Amino acid sequence: MVPRPDHRGRSPLLPRLLTAGRQVDKVQKLPEVRAVERGQVLRLCRCGQCASLPDAAAACTHLLELTVGRERHLLLCRCGRSAKLPFCDGSHAPAALGLKERWRSFSGR
């Protein structure tokens, strides 16, 4: 029996093929791209433990108060794994596998 596509036309096998051989979080939290304006004051978490990442909770003792100097976009961590908190350094992404390893995990050989 062939699996039927979901309401978006995607095969239910696709997520398994894309993650074969890798440990992947069930809910991967991607970074937040935040547009900020000059003079805006942000209270950002640097401990990685706040439930409201990237924003600091009221009780957070490791917060960064940032006054924005110019209009820009910030890439802020939401997973808490970054070594450069509150900014994202790509730690949420699994290590990239080479073609040989991806083929092995796909084919099972």
Q: Which sequence spans correspond to the domains of the chain?
A: 28-107
d(CA 91, CA 103): 24
Q: What is the DSSP letter of 87?
A: B
Q: What is the DSSP letter of 55?
A: B
Give residue-wise pLDDT tens across range 4-63. 555 555 545 444 444 444 444 446 788 999 999 999 999 999 999 999 999 999 999 999
d(CA 74, CA 62): 19
Q: What is the pTM of this model?
A: 0.61
Encoded tokens for 94: 């699994």
Three-state secondary-structure class, residue 20: coil
Map tokens 């009221």 to a residue: 58
